[in-house]
Amino acid sequence: MSKELVVISGKGGTGKTTLTASLASVIKNKVIVDADADAANMYILMKPEVKHKELFKGNPKAVINTDRCIKCDQCRQLCRFDAIYVNSDGEYVVDELKCDSCKLCQIACPVEAVDMKDVYSGQWYESETAYGIMVHAKLYPGAENSGNLVTMVKHRAHLIADEKNIEYILVDGSPGIGCPVISTISGANFVIIVTEPTVSGLHDLKRVKKLCDSFKIKSGVVVNKYDLNSQKTEEIEEFAKREGMPFLGRIPFDKCVVDAIVNLQIPYEACDSVKHAVDEILSKAMELL
């Protein structure tokens, strides 16, 4: 069984992809997963060559057949997602972006005028990169949240790892605490939470730590751009200590990181400051994995 190491952050932009890409450049023998399907960015640094591509089916959406519809208004009244409206021609229409696929309108329609139509909500890919196999996905803009897609790409990565006897699965997770993150951390052996030394960083760390705890998943913390506010960094370290949460390391604020990314280089390979920090973080994480 391969071991799954997941990198998440309470919010986006804390340097999650910087760290994950850097880890991808050091850890040998792994499958890389970009589970941040909402804003997939790993591909930019990993430069994957797509070997296999498949459409991802989302939940089916309601469609009203206007020939059959008797305009009884039941569906509109029952829909709790405000997805059904009457257009300027007086026809009943479903707003696909708002439809939550609950099928209540179909169940309630007295004349069977509602059909559920399959929609594709994104694509997933299996690719070769210079750093190993990568499984990644893209959610279509406006498509529904990506929890199912995350579960799918992770599952795919595990199949590949089992088949090829690959030891690790490295996952770049999505921000927040909602459905995609829950799917990202479920089944993980260890979660690295990246945070920034800011008032919001500490707040978000507490929320995401609670989420990991509620799923009984071990987590450790990394502070990115730690020298922007040393006092906050200390607060975060103290918080980690109090919570019995391993503190894995600090990455400095270095313009080199921005420049590396602009030049499509992995920060680990381009910036000494990152290299030192990531080596330390990795060795601690590996002990806990």
Partner 1 sequence: MKIAVTSGKGGTGKTTIATMLAKAAENAQYLDCDAEEPNGKFFLKPEIEKTIPYTELVPKINEDRCTFCEKCADACAYKALVVMGKPLNKVMFFDELCHSCGACAYVCPVEGALVEIEQEVGLFNVGKAGNIDFVEGVLNIGEASATRLIATMKKRFMNDKKTVILDSPPGTSCSVVETIDGVDFVVLVSEPTPFGLSDLRLTVELVRDMGLPFGIVINKAEKENSLIDDYAKKENIEILYRLEFSRQIAEGYSKGILPFDKYAGDFKKVLKRIEELI
* Closer residue to partner 1, CB minimum distance, 168 or 226: 226
Nearer to partner 1, 50 or 97 (CB): 97
Nearer to partner 1, 15 or 168 (CB): 15
Residue 50 is a binding residue for partner 1 (CB under 8 A): no
Q: Candidates 46-54, 153-161, 241-249, 253-261 — which segment interacts with partner 1 by CB under 8 A? A: 253-261
CA angle (245, 249, 253) in 5-degree steps: 130
Position 219 contacts partner 1 (CB under 8 A): no
Which residues ranging from 88 to 127 are in contact with partner 1 (CB under 8 A)? 97-98, 100-104, 107-108
Going by C-alpha positions, the residue among 109, 111, 154 that lies closest to residue 3 is 154
Q: Contact between 72 and partner 1 (CB under 8 A)?
A: no
The piece of 12-20, 25-33, 85-93, 243-251 that touches partner 1 (CB under 8 A) is: 12-20
Distance in Å, CB of 32 to partner 1, minimum = 16
Tell me how far apart the alpha carbons of residues 64 and 85 are, in angstroms, rounded to a whole number. 11
* Position 147 contacts partner 1 (CB under 8 A): yes
The mark string for 16-45 relative to partner 1 (x by CB under 8 A, - otherwise) is -x--------------------xxxx--x-
CB of 283 to partner 1, least distance (A): 27
**Straight-line distance from the first to the last Cα atom of the chain, in angstroms, rounded to the nearest whole number:** 13
CB 168 within 8 A of CB 61: no
Is residue 177 packed enough to be buried (19+ CB in 10 Å), middle (13-18) or exposed (0-12)? Answer: middle
How many positions of this chain bind partner 1 (CB under 8 A)?
Answer: 62
What is the smallest separation between the CB atom of 286 and partner 1, expressed in angstroms? 27
**Per-position b or e across 271-280, b if 16+ CB within 10 A of its CB:** beebbebbee
Q: Which is nearer to partner 1, 186 or 189 (CB)?
A: 186
**Site membership for partner 1, residue 142 (CB under 8 A):** yes
Could you give the 3-state DSSP secondary structure of residue 53? strand
Region from 123-131, 135-143, 162-170, 268-276 binding partner 1, contact rule CB under 8 A:
135-143
Nearest alpha carbon to residue 16 among 264, 271, 153, 191: 191
DSSP symbols for 106-154: HHH-TT--EEEE--EEEEEEEEEETTEEEEEEEEPTTPPPSHHHHHHHH
Applying CB under 8 A, does 203 fall inside the site for partner 1? yes
Q: How far apart are CA 256 and CA 15, in angstroms?
A: 13
Provide the minimum distance between the beta carbon of 203 and partner 1 in the complex, in angstroms, as a whole number. Answer: 7
Short-list 154, 161, 163, 117, CA closest to 136: 154
Adjacent-strand bridge partners of 54: 124
Q: Which tokens sit at 161?
A: 């790892």
* Binding residues vs partner 1 (CB under 8 A): 9-14, 17, 38-41, 44, 59, 78, 80-82, 97-98, 100-104, 107-108, 139, 141-147, 174-179, 182, 196-201, 203-204, 207, 210-211, 214, 225, 228-229, 232, 253, 258, 261-262, 264
